[in-house]
Amino acid sequence: MKQPHIVIIGAGFAGMSAARTFRRHDVRVTLIDRNNYYTFQPLLYQVATALLEADDVARSVRASLRGQRNARFLQADVSGVDHDSKEVLLADGSRVAFDWLINCAGSRYNHFGVPGVPEHAFFLKTLTEAVNLRSHILSCFERASRDGAAAPPGLLEFVIVGGGPTGVELAGSLVELFGRVLPKDFPEVDTGAVRVHLVEAQDSILTAYPPRLRCYAANVLKKRGVQLHLDTQLAAVTAEGARTADGQQLASRTIVWAAGIRASSLAPAMDSPLGRGQRLELNADLSLPERPWAFAAGDIAGQLGDEGPAHPQVGQVAIQQGRFAARQILARLGRGRVRPEFRYSDRGNMAIIGRNAAIAELSPRLGGLRLTGFPGFIAWLFIHLLYLPGHRNRFGALVNWAIHYFTFDRHARLITEMVPGKGDCENRN
């Protein structure tokens, strides 16, 4: 009998977890991604702030699939899906036929129509963007050192938009870079004048966390020198800075947009209903309405069923959904039990604010424990080491973290050539 062919689009958390679930089964799997590596996005901010190297947070897909004989990897840009012929369309015009499909193409930035964001802001969604941001930040210091008093206004003002975990972690890491590491490299630059601003439209940062943890995080950030602008919306971004809705001007050459995401452009390409954030509306078992051969998992997946939840766009959901979608396909092939609905097993959330300071909240199912400070920091380190892909990556990250912890130094302070289109979020992902 012909082996069923399963095509998975996207080698992120969801796609990798789906591919591995087929490991011991008599099926043929093709995993397609535009990059030949898998990115551990939660640590991209550490690449942008010179704490980790780019290859500490990414791993070759082929290396990850080595040993899985029924899987092959295809590096290609997917442009759409033809459900009538059951083919995935590639940007180079070729097609890949499938029997079953899992779309795990993730998400991209949502700039909510704020003028100037696509052209002038920096993003932190891909490895290239993280390396670009690091090079840009270090270049600002090189220029400040060169130009002295003649440096343009706002050169050493860094604005992060969005007080979610990404914005908070980036702000915390930047103040440590500017306060502890760069003064040794740039004694001629007045690092006391460097500012990090965190702009949040709501009246609190980290709104998904309980008030006590939010307050703790806000207090630590303020104590460490981050200027918090709560209840503040951006009206426009230009090459010289940002303007807030209440008319305030923030002079800056570095606006980092961490204020929200929407589903990948491959959600509309599925020719299926879309919900909030352009996420695919799915049946409760992650299949597409009226297309029982097609599934979606991860950030691209939205509301499940008419009354069901839309789960948060986080790594744990993506991993569990990828595995679930793969098991559904296997069950329909007669290998296992068909389950009517996906149920998310929430283990909790955590965010790091900086050295010895993190917040963690376990789910009520696991005791509901809430940690701050050093215990939270240790829990954060442990979990991130556990989930980093590959032993080499874990070892590299651990060594860099240990060096930083004990010497206050950050090794990855290289300025590399910027890849153009830093703010081209329309066309990304």
Q: Which residues are catalytic?
A: 169
Establish if 15 lies at the interface with ligand FAD (CB under 6 A). Answer: yes
- Using CB under 6 A as the binding rule, the residues of this chain from 61 to 90 that contact ligand FAD are 77-78
Amino acid sitting at position 19: A
Least spacing, CB of residue 289 vs ligand FAD, in Å? 20
Task: Round to whole Å and give the CA distance between 248 and 245.
Answer: 7
Q: In terms of CB distance, is 46 or 191 closer to ligand FAD? A: 46
Q: Edge-to-edge, what's the strand order for the sheet holding 348-354? A: 348-354, 357-362, 370-372
Q: How far is the CB of 166 from ligand FAD (least distance, A)?
A: 4
With CB under 6 A as the contact rule, which of the stretches 12-20, 141-149, 220-228, 364-372 interacts with ligand FAD?
A: 12-20
Q: How many CB atoms lie within 10 A of CB 330?
A: 20
Stretch in the footprint of ligand FAD (CB under 6 A) among 31-39, 227-235, 245-253, 282-290: 31-39
What tokens does 152 get?
Answer: 């343009």
- Give the pair of three-digit tokens for residue 281: 């509306």
Q: Which is nearer to ligand FAD, 71 or 318 (CB)?
A: 318
Tell me, what DSSP letter sits at residue 209? S
Specify the residue, 14 or 182, whose C-beta has the smaller distance to ligand FAD: 14
Task: Specify the residue, 155 or 199, whose C-beta has the smaller distance to ligand FAD.
Answer: 199
Q: Which is nearer to ligand FAD, 32 or 228 (CB)?
A: 32
CB of 266 to ligand FAD, least distance (A): 5
Query: How is residue 183 written in tokens?
Result: 């003064």
For the chain, give the number of residues.
429
Q: Residues 195, 189: contact at Cβ < 8 Å? A: no
Strands in 241-244's sheet, in edge-to-edge order, are 234-238, 241-244, 249-251
Residue with smaller CB distance to ligand FAD, 191 or 400: 400
Q: Is 172 in the site for ligand FAD (CB under 6 A)?
A: no
Q: 312 with 277: CB under 8 angstroms?
A: no
Going residue by residue from 112 to 151, which x/- string records binding to ligand FAD, judged by CB under 6 A?
Answer: ------------xx--------------------------
Number of residues that bind ligand FAD (CB under 6 A): 33
CB of 135 to ligand FAD, least distance (A): 17
- The correct pick among 21, 41, 46, 132 for binding ligand FAD (CB under 6 A) is 41
Written as six digits, the tokens of 381 are 């380190």
With binding defined as CB under 6 A, does residue 14 bind ligand FAD?
yes
- Per-residue mark of binding to ligand FAD, 384-413 (x: CB under 6 A): ------------------------------
Q: Is residue 8 a contact partner of residue 19, using CB atoms and an 8 Å limit?
A: yes
Listed as own residue / partner, the contacts of 229-234 with beta carbons closer than 8 Å and 24 or more positions apart are 229/197, 229/198, 229/199, 229/200, 230/163, 230/200, 230/202, 230/203, 230/204, 230/205, 231/200, 231/201, 231/202, 231/203, 232/199, 232/200, 232/201, 233/201, 234/114, 234/117, 234/161, 234/199, 234/259
Q: How many C-beta neighbours within 10 Å does residue 164 have?
A: 18
**Nearest to ligand FAD of 251, 362 (CB atom):** 362
List binders of ligand FAD among 298-357 (CB under 6 A).
298-299, 313-316, 318
Q: Using the rule CB under 6 A, which residue among 264, 303, 372, 400 binds ligand FAD?
A: 264
Q: Which two tokens stand for residue 221?
A: 């950030």
The residues of the shown chain that bind ligand FAD, judged by CB under 6 A, are: 10-15, 32-35, 41-42, 44-45, 77-78, 104-106, 124-125, 165-166, 264, 266, 298-299, 313-316, 318, 429
